[in-house]
Structure 1
Amino acid sequence: MLTAVRSTFTPGLNTLPAAGTADDKIQAYNFRMTMTNSAKWRKPLPTTPPPGYDVADYEVLLRFMAANPTKVSFFDYFKADAFYTANGESKFDVNNRAGPAAPSTDFLGRNWDYPLASYSAREAIWKAHWNWIVGMLYLMQHGTDPRIPAALKTNCLSWGFVSDHYFSPHENDTVGMNPQMYVREALRLDGVAKLLGTELTRGDGGVPSISTNTVSMISYFMDSHAIQYIALEKTAGVWIVASEGGMAVDLGGSDGMFPLPLEVCTPKPGDCTNGFVSFGLSASHVAFGAGRMEFTAMQTGQSLGQIAAEAIKNNRTFQDPANYPAARTALLANAFALTNEPVPILAQTT
């Protein structure tokens, strides 16, 4: 569970590299679950633990419960947002409860091998993540450890999967299991240009340093879920368990948006001349954390499709600078709009 030690008081114990040191660790993955506390829709969770279950894996969670005996609600441990409500009963999207809160569904430190893993190894990582979450739910509903508040068990027992979701699972999946693990970050492009976090802190009215060939707008803060649990000597002789690597840093400017340039979606000519990358951007970990959200990715995909069409129509490489102006004009003119589709926002200053 713990993968490093950080101490300024006892330097000889320190194993955490200095801030800014490169590594191959990535922010945690989980599954977004569809759950409910409505008796009408609830499918009870398993009453037996998942394969590989070991209560010792949840020691950090149990210590948190012991230190916070008044946290006795499902919502104290999970981020649950209602996406459908009828007659006072709701179905919820259940995600990791981030920030200085309880250990939650993120499986910290167990996904680092995923980007370069084989398909079979990825399948094992995938299943381990699901079992981690199901094991956590089992512990909170049926665990016998005295540190689990009785009121929390009672509250959690009212929750289950939604009976009309994921009832016909993929091969190797189980009923109620979301068919997609939340891979927040994996491989990224090493492209024509690289977007850095320092670029995203520019104030209003600045011209982006990479280019004004905007294909989308970043409108999420520089975000990363935690990467690992560490032992931290908070004060001399006082040790705590801390999650390390999580962040939420605002973008520069009053509107909280930043132009995403074409070049960070474009491979180097020596690598590929007829393709773009719409999600795994050529960006640092920090900048990618801001550019990875759905609406940015949707507009990026639409823009890149239009630019690709210009390149193909004119028999140009995808790196040709002549592709962008015509594609931008077409996009802003909404020439290929779907019904009621808004005109894209493709600002060229911050």
Structure 2
Amino acid sequence: MSSQFEVVVYGATSAGVCAAVAAAETGARTVLLEPGRHLGGMTSGGLGYTDVGDVRVLGGMADRLRRDIAEHYGVAPGHYAGPEPHVAEAIFRRWLDEARVEVIFDAQVTGAEVVEGRIRSIRTAEGIEVVGAVFVDASYEGDLLPLAGVPFAIGREDRALYGERFAGRQELAPGRHNMPPWISPFRDDPTGLEPGALLPQIKPEPLAEVGAGDGGVMSFGYRVCLTTAPDRIPITRRVGYDEAHWELGRRFFAEHGDLPTGRYIGLEENLPGGKCDGNSLGPFSLSVLDGSAWEYPDASLDRREELRLHHLHHAQDFLWFLGHDKAVPAHIRQEFQRWGLPADEFADTGHLPHQLYVREARRMLGEHVLTEHDLATPVAHPDAIAMGSYHFDIREVQRTWRWAYEHPAPIAYVATEGYLSVAVPPYQVPYRALLPRREDCANLLVAVCVSASHVAFSSIRMEPQYQMLGHAAGVAAALAAGAPGPAAGAVHEVDVPRLQQRLADAGQVLAL
């Protein structure tokens, strides 16, 4: 089976939906391919309570979504930080229907035909071939990049590479995201010499030097939607639940059980309908810190599925652990037992989200690599197509352990590494950050795995930002596809002032 389109968007994340709608509304015949069965990625997959940053930079389709959410609930824009997951997906579905975008689900890309530096077509695991003039990679994983021969980076770089202060492995510093002191990482053997001495949920490999690049990515997890509604689905003990897997949690609560209950995943009605978007708020939470996320970006599809289930089972078992393990303080257990899974969310995935929170995966090495310097001291970009403002938000990268050389004998202790939060002023995102280098590919735009360092990407990676970048990529793709003669499909030849005018007319904020 083969189909031909002007613009082919891969990945129905919120960036992918916005790219496909924008391309279609600009006049291009557009198809949206999604490897799963849902629209919206994390925006409809559990991350309802949405981080925005400076609302002055929120424009274009991100602002359109904000207004549509407000209209749905009959409130002022911004009254809610985000919608219920099913509402977000319904809005995206309506947008695609109104723009007459063809959507193909269960379309995992597995191959691409590249001719003289241009993608001619991509193939899916189901044997569908899709031919296009311009392609947009809007997947969280950046799965079109290697197929198109476009170079990319994964994980933390060395500080020396771009001269970034916050690059590389971080110091082991105290803070609310770190473990309390002196929790042993070992099961029974204080020397750590016995085979299997290390507890589960700890990354066993040694730490890199401070500031060194180690390829580490931010931890993944599931953002769970919870409710206290009478029809809630109770949290149940999963078949395969392993008591020994949670020994670290027991030790944590023995040292740190006096925190308010919500400090573990944020139990508060922060979504419409009395629902809660459960986030990872501390050193022992929904984020999986054993280093398994490091493997995910470049793993095979089968291995990715194993890793996804590893994270899903962590979320299920964590909720059960908090509500039922006797080592958890009684006030926490009692509070968690009040909550369950919403009956009207994620019905086809057991009422747990359909989307793993892939905080970062591949990052393109493109025409311009955005770094810490572009954001911390904003650079004026004449080809700006959107703005960002969220702080550097590097979530925990690993849970590790170290020796403290105390008298009379060394003491091993658990530590959490990688968390960093540093404010930045509003900054411009240039069109070049969406483009591969000319010599690598001529007809690909990237809306999620943009050309940025690990540090810069930690700010760019917010869902509203993805929506604005998707909007820009969709308009640019349509303009490139509609260009006459040899320029047809050439994303590097797009008339940038014309692109910027189209975006500005649609409400995109390009400068303050």
TM-score range (shorter-chain normalised) is 0.7 to 0.9
- Rate the CA distance shift 1:198–1:4 in 2: closer, same or farther, 3 A: farther
1:143-154 equivalences under 5 Å are: 143-144=325-326, 147-154=327-334
Is the contact made by 1:226 and 1:245 (CA closer than 8 Å) also made in structure 2? yes
Is the contact made by 2:271 and 2:277 (CA closer than 8 Å) also made in structure 1? no
Quick one: which amino acid aligns to residue 36 of structure 1? T
1:199-214 equivalences under 5 Å are: 199-202=374-377, 207-208=379-380, 211-214=381-384
Gaps of 5+ in 2: 1-200
Is the contact made by 1:222 and 1:247 (CA closer than 8 Å) also made in structure 2? yes
**SS in structure 2 at match of 1:346:** coil
Partner of residue 396 from structure 2, selected from 198, 221, 226? 226
Task: Provide the identity percentage.
Answer: 27
CA offset at residue 4 of structure 1?
Answer: 5.6
CA offset at residue 141 of structure 1?
Answer: 2.0
1:303-342 equivalences under 5 Å are: 303-315=472-484, 316=487, 317-320=490-493, 323-332=495-504, 334=505, 337=506
- Rate the CA distance shift 1:177–1:85 in 2: closer, same or farther, 3 A: closer
The corresponding residue for 2:234 is 44
In structure 1, C-alpha distance between the alignment counterparts of 2:337 and 2:379, rounded to whole Å? 54
The corresponding residue for 1:35 is 226
CA offset at residue 70 of structure 1?
Answer: 2.3
In structure 1, C-alpha distance between the alignment counterparts of 2:448 and 2:332, rounded to whole Å? 39
Is the contact made by 2:391 and 2:421 (CA closer than 8 Å) also made in structure 1? yes
- Rate the CA distance shift 1:55–1:152 in 2: closer, same or farther, 3 A: same
The corresponding residue for 2:366 is 191
In structure 2, C-alpha distance between the alignment counterparts of 1:247 and 1:92, rounded to whole Å? 25
Q: What are the Cα deviations for residues 314-344 of structure 1, in whole angstroms up to 9, with x where unaligned?
A: 2422112x52111112222x1xx4xxxxx21
The corresponding residue for 2:257 is 69
In structure 1, C-alpha distance between the alignment counterparts of 2:300 and 2:368, rounded to whole Å? 29
CA offset at residue 77 of structure 1?
Answer: 1.1
Q: What are the Cα deviations for residues 55-77 of structure 1, in whole angstroms up to 9, with x where unaligned?
A: 3322332222111232362x121
Quick one: which amino acid aligns to residue 248 of structure 2? V
CA offset at residue 308 of structure 1?
Answer: 2.4
Q: What are the Cα deviations for residues 229-253 of structure 1, in whole angstroms up to 9, with x where unaligned?
A: 12245684565322101111111xx
Q: Which has the higher contact order (CA 8 A, sep 6+)?
A: 2
In structure 2, C-alpha distance between the alignment counterparts of 1:192 and 1:72, rounded to whole Å? 47
Q: Report whether the alignment pairs 1:292 with 2:461.
A: yes
Is the contact made by 2:208 and 2:214 (CA closer than 8 Å) also made in structure 1? no
CA offset at residue 126 of structure 1?
Answer: 0.7
1:85-164 equivalences under 5 Å are: 85=272, 90-97=274-281, 101-108=282-289, 109-144=291-326, 147-164=327-344
CA offset at residue 102 of structure 1?
Answer: 4.1
Q: RMSD between aligned alpha carbons? A: 2.1
Quick one: which amino acid aligns to residue 280 of structure 2? N
CA offset at residue 142 of structure 1?
Answer: 2.3
In structure 1, C-alpha distance between the alignment counterparts of 2:481 and 2:347, rounded to whole Å? 43
Is the contact made by 1:4 and 1:16 (CA closer than 8 Å) also made in structure 2? no
The corresponding residue for 1:79 is 266
The corresponding residue for 1:165 is 345
In structure 1, C-alpha distance between the alignment counterparts of 2:472 and 2:404, rounded to whole Å? 48
Q: What are the Cα deviations for residues 68-87 of structure 1, in whole angstroms up to 9, with x where unaligned?
A: 232362x121124534456x
In structure 2, C-alpha distance between the alignment counterparts of 1:64 and 1:312, rounded to whole Å? 56
- Rate the CA distance shift 1:4–1:123 in 2: closer, same or farther, 3 A: closer
**SS in structure 2 at match of 1:181:** coil
- Rate the CA distance shift 1:58–1:310 in 2: closer, same or farther, 3 A: same
In structure 2, C-alpha distance between the alignment counterparts of 1:223 and 1:58, rounded to whole Å? 27
Q: What are the Cα deviations for residues 41-62 of structure 1, in whole angstroms up to 9, with x where unaligned?
A: 321111x3342x3233223322
CA offset at residue 129 of structure 1?
Answer: 0.5
Structure-2-length-normalised TM-score = 0.56
Quick one: which amino acid aligns to residue 508 of structure 2? P
**SS in structure 2 at match of 1:243:** strand
The corresponding residue for 2:202 is 2
The corresponding residue for 1:249 is 422
- Rate the CA distance shift 1:239–1:221 in 2: closer, same or farther, 3 A: same
